[in-house]
Amino acid sequence: MSKLINDPIADLLTRIRNGAMARKDTVELPYSKAKENIAKILSEHGFVGGVEKVTKEGEFPSLRIGIKYTRGRFGVIQGIERISKPGRRVYFGATELPKVKNGLGIAIVSTSRGVMTDADARAQNVGGELLCRVW
């Protein structure tokens, strides 16, 4: 029996946060294209390790995300926060997008041109739904 997840993006962020706190090497969760795109952005910016789609015979695909640590085995991600939620969507224009920790972190935005970071959205002059902040 599968569990119904009302907010899959919050589930992704929570699994990454909990995996880092538990010192896991990888976390695995149900696959979706949106989750894969967010995980790839986190990987490109050095917050998580490798991202791969895992398919096993007769099962639904899953997404495996590697957790990155510093030399002292502290998680690279200091904070990860969901902004826009199913009950309250938060939208920003291209010029209104907030900077995270004065540019030390990233905000992930869902735009009409796809999922991207706040810096990319500002460069392309597009706004959208602010999904989360990571620092």
Residue 74 in domain: no
Here the CATH number for the domain that contains residue 32 is 3.30.1370.30
Task: State which of 67, 91, 108 marks the end of a domain.
Answer: 67
Residue 75 in domain: no
Indicate if 33 and 58 belong to the same structural domain. yes
Indicate if 86 and 62 belong to the same structural domain. no
The secondary structure of residue 23, as a DSSP letter, is T
> What's the structural domain count of the chain?
2
Identify the pLDDT of residue 113. Answer: 97
3-state SS assignment for residue 77: coil
Identify the pLDDT of residue 74. Answer: 85
Indicate if 15 and 60 belong to the same structural domain. yes
Tell me the residue range of the domain where 44 lies.
Answer: 8-67
Indicate if 12 and 63 belong to the same structural domain. yes
pLDDT tens-place values along the chain, 135 residues long? 457 779 999 999 999 999 999 999 999 999 999 999 999 999 999 999 999 999 999 999 999 999 999 988 788 999 999 999 999 999 999 999 999 999 899 999 999 999 999 999 999 999 999 999 999
> What is the Cα–Cα distance from 42 to 120, expressed in whole angstroms?
14
Nearest residue to 97 via CA among 76, 72, 128: 128
Residue 3 in domain: no
**Nearest-10 Cα torsion for 1, 81, 77, 73:** -60
Give the amino acid at 22.
A
Indicate if 62 and 108 belong to the same structural domain. no
Indicate if 55 and 94 belong to the same structural domain. no
Residue 126 in domain: yes
Identify the pLDDT of residue 2. Answer: 58
Identify the pLDDT of residue 1. Answer: 46
Residue 23 in domain: yes
